[in-house]
Amino acid sequence: MMNELADLNAKLVKIFNDVRWVEERDLSKSSFADLSLRDMHTIEAISLDENQTVSQVAHTMCLSPGSMTKIIDKLVAHLYVTRMPSKTDRRITHLGLTEKGHAIFLEHLNFHQRMVQALTSDMNDHEIDAMLQGIANVQKFLNRK
Amino acid sequence: MMNELADLNAKLVKIFNDVRWVEERDLSKSSFADLSLRDMHTIEAISLDENQTVSQVAHTMCLSPGSMTKIIDKLVAHLYVTRMPSKTDRRITHLGLTEKGHAIFLEHLNFHQRMVQALTSDMNDHEIDAMLQGIANVQKFLNRK
DNA sequence: TCGAATATTTTCATGTTCGAAATAATTTTG
DNA sequence: CAAAATTATTTCGAACATGAAAATATTCGA
């Protein structure tokens, strides 16, 4: 039993690394090769909710506002993201995705969906629920820390 | 059903990020604050099998040998790792962990074990097997790419 | 022995990250 | 209402990470 858990841990570590690696390689071979994984995840964070500010997105990604400005500069220059000055508070700029930004986001989402599809393809509803419960337990464990 | 999978995807994305973030923060607050997550994973990779070469560890971590040399330089300077020149081939240096290296590795392993414990605590053997099958399916999906 | 192959390190150029300071706009307070 | 404090963002500087290619040292095979 102890061995089974150690085995599960090893498999999780491997799949963590592999997911990152495949995502990075896929991006660099795609028609969006000018994006790093960090850029991609920033686009993901912006898509979560249009009209977010730079600070909000920085906070979501656990980055400093200064770092986020740099990333946004690049994403704007490469036409994935638009800066929209707030009309009520001129300190604030809202962020949004361009059409190109939406396109790459959807492509990335599709990759994720196929991964989840692979994960659950052999599971019945009960087994999926059991896994969701497990994930919730890990999240609780992380939140306590 | 489609919605359930989208929800699962969102939870996985979040837990991926949170695991990395907690690991990083834990390290920076520990008595091993001079280690980055990358350093920690290098120690992990070295511990997998003592007497590995620089190239082998670089390959395991999908890094160039040049980058690995830099990381090893730091880990040796901070007394986590030892370079052991091969006696039969003087081009080769084998890598090993010092006592300090073992200590931090065990601490990190303990964190992983508690995470896996949280993941499986509410699961029976059948449900764990179902999840293992799912992980294997994702791994197959990644390997095809 | 000489040339090819191998293992590691060095060098160089690029990119990422944070923190602190600067800039700009808004809100609060006396 | 004006000064002070707060808020949002950007700029700048330094430290670090990374990969590619060159340099160094060694081994191996014809």
Whole-Å CA distances, B48 to A12, A51, B44, B105: 15, 46, 6, 11
- Best of B135, B140, B143, B144 to substitute, by most chain A Cβ atoms within 10 angstroms, is B135
Tell me the two tokens of residue A103. 């396109």
pLDDT band, very low/low/confident/very high, at B2 (cuts 50, 70, 90):
low
- Which uninterrupted H or E stretch holds B43? helix B37-47
Lowest mean pLDDT, pick from B3-7, B43-47, B52-56: B3-7
- The residue among B7, B126, B138 with the most chain A CBs within 10 A of its CB, best to mutate, is B138
Q: What is the DSSP letter of A105?
A: H
List, for residues A78-118, the tens digit of each pLDDT value. Answer: 999 999 999 999 999 999 999 999 999 999 999 999 999 99
pLDDT at A39: 95
Measured between beta carbons, which residues in chain A are less than 8 angstroms from residue B11?
Answer: 132, 135-136, 139
Q: What span, in angstroms and rounded, lies between the C-alpha atoms of B125 and A130?
A: 11
Show which positions of strand D are touched by protein (CB under 7 A).
Answer: 7-12, 16-22, 25-28
**pLDDT confidence tier of residue B106, bands split at 50, 70 and 90:** very high
**The sheet that has B81-85: what strands, in order across it?**
B52-53, B93-97, B81-85
- CB of A72 closer than 8 Å to CB of A84: no
| pTM for the model | 0.89
pLDDT confidence of residue B145: 80
Tokens of B81: 């790792």
- Mean pLDDT across chain A, nearest whole number? 93
CATH architecture of B39-144: Orthogonal Bundle (1.10)
Contact at CB, B62 and A137, closer than 8 angstroms? no
Q: Enter the tokens of residue B131.
A: 């999840």
Kindly report the CATH class assigned to A34-144.
mainly alpha
Spatial contact of B72 and B82, defined as CB atoms under 8 Å apart: no
**Is the CB of B30 inside 8 Å of chain A's CB atoms?**
no
Four-residue CA torsion sign, A136, A61, B114, B5: positive
Q: How far apart are CA B103 and CA B105, in angstroms?
A: 5
Closest CA to A8 of A145, A143, A139, A134: A134
Residue A1's pLDDT is what?
A: 63
Hey, where are the domains in chain A? 34-144
